[in-house]
Amino acid sequence: MAKFVLYYGPRNEFLKIIPERYYPLETLVKVCDSANAFRKVDFDYVVGYSMSYSSITEGGIQNFCTILDRVDDTLEIVYLQNPPECIKDEIIRSYSKENVEINQYKYRSIGKKQLESINIHFDKEIIGQPKVKKQLLASLYELYCKKNKKAPIIFMFYGPSGVGKTEKAKYLSMLLGGELFRQQLSMYQT
């Protein structure tokens, strides 16, 4: 019987817990869906990343454990990063608690010192943006009060070129001690 490691957190931390050699979740699903579904394939370790679920049909997601049952005798450990809630629920229903391990990455929380630092130093780093500073502090203060520890902090800056969106993101990333993931949405015009 397979063991499941359900990991909720960023990819760079997930990479630290998975084995060096594994089969992608997509490969397992393709083999089980194909005409060769009952051919003997040894899937020792299977790894599913956050993006893996988008390639699985809705029926495959709803019957996830049925797919796994086809190769259950060869599975050792299935590592899943940020699985959809329906997959998590089905795994918990179908397998014993001893075989399911759920790991939650602990995101850094915003502290009072960081809020004070933004209030004091923002105008020196980002020139001519007092309205943005006020909105940013209000949003961060709300997160500080909630003590949000379950998810990463995500900001979306939008506006015309040259107003300082990237500089604000770099400043916040440096100040909050996180990694900056920059997505240039202007590249996705179609």
Domain spans in the chain, listed from the N-terminal domain onward: 3-104, 112-187
According to the per-residue pLDDT averaged within each range, which of 70-74, 75-79, 176-180 is highest?
Answer: 75-79
Least-confidence region, from 28-37, 76-85, 163-172: 28-37
pLDDT of residue 143: 79
Q: How far is CA 188 from CA 114, 149, 184, in A?
A: 33, 31, 8
Span 77-119, pLDDT tens digits: 999 999 999 999 999 998 888 999 999 988 777 788 888 888 8
E strand or H helix at 87 = helix 85-94
Local confidence band at 8 (pLDDT 50, 70, 90 cut-offs) = very high
CA distance 102 to 80: 10
Q: Which helix (H) or strand (E) holds 137?
A: helix 130-146
What local confidence, expressed as pLDDT, does residue 19 receive? 94
Residue 112 pLDDT: 86
Q: Is the pTM of this model over 0.95?
A: no
Q: Give residue 180's pLDDT.
A: 73
- The mean pLDDT of the chain is 83
As a whole number of angstroms, the distance between CA 1 and CA 26 comes to 20
